[in-house]
Chains A and B, each alone.
Chain A
Amino acid sequence: MSETPVKIVVDLSKPKGQRESIIELTQAEIEEREVMAAKAEAQRLFDEQAKADADATRQSGLDKLIALGLTEAEALALVGA
């Protein structure tokens, strides 16, 4: 990519074959892009935590079922392999 990020703009009012152009982002778009990147990173961290929490809850449930006397295979059959 060139030094200034670019975008594809597809103008659907034009005839096919003449619609596509490559345009450099405006300063406002570049700043917006940075904001979006920060939000995406926050969302990724949220997702990772949600996954870890869900996995921990699942494992805790499995452990309790096994402590009740179920085999691991029986416990997995209940909560999904």
Chain B
Amino acid sequence: MTLLETIEVGSGGVAAVEFTDIPQDGLHLYILLSARSGLAQENNGMSVEINGSSANSNAARLLGYNTTVTGNVGGLGNNISQIAANSSNAGLFSSTVIVFSNYASSREKRYSSESAIPNSTISTYRPLTYIYNGVWEQTTAITTIKFASGTFMEHTTASIYIIS
């Protein structure tokens, strides 16, 4: 596994984080996010755009909290995960792992994500975990990935690796 880059969001936050010209010599893409959205909620959806498009993505999702597991299939569009947001306790960030399998292949691309929302004392849903498994229904290689979630707050970090 090779680290390509790590970025940290600076003062004021940003609307999106975009990796472009992704090298095509890997098998899978592995992305780690430590993130917090500026939205005044406990958590917020995070979207993905692949090769500049928000289309052709869909997923199934499990949501676990307290002693309950629920979920939904389809209708998620390019929603790829949930991250901590700004009604959570100050300084808490969610941890999210995203994998795009066979990203440079000529087949449709599968992806998965797992996100642990921090154990905010404000929330009645603790612990809160989201697991997604989706597909990008295109056969072109993935060269650009953009994540957005309202505003990524300062100190959000994103690391991108390739697995060979």
Q: Which residues of A contact B (CB under 8 A)?
A: 1-2, 5-14, 16, 19-20, 22, 25, 29, 32-33, 36-37, 39-40, 43-44, 46-47, 50-51, 53-55, 58, 79-81
Contact = CB atoms under 8 A, between A and B. Distances in A.
Contacts of B14: 1, 5-8, 22
Contacts of A2: 12
Nearest to A13: B21
B22 interface: yes
B79 to A, nearest CB: 6
B22 A8 contact: no
B21 A44 contact: no
Given A1-B151, A2-B12, A54-B70, A10 B76 contact: no
Give the size category of B's interface with A.
35 or more
A39 B79 contact: yes
B20 A12 contact: yes
Nearest to A1: B12
B65 A51 contact: yes
Contacts of A20: 7
A46 to B, nearest CB: 7
Contacts of B47: 36, 39-40
Contacts of B160: 10, 12
B93 to A, nearest CB: 16
Contacts of B41: 44
Contacts of B54: 32, 36
Given A2-B12, A33-B148, A44-B44, A12 B70 contact: no
10 contacts: A7-B16, A8-B16, A10-B5, A11-B20, A14-B21, A22-B14, A50-B70, A51-B65, A54-B70, A55-B68
Contacts of A19: 5
Nearest to A76: B67
Interface string B112-153: 000000000000010000000000000000000010111100
B7 A39 contact: no
The 4 closest A-B pairs by CB, nearest first: A40-B45, A13-B21, A5-B15, A7-B16
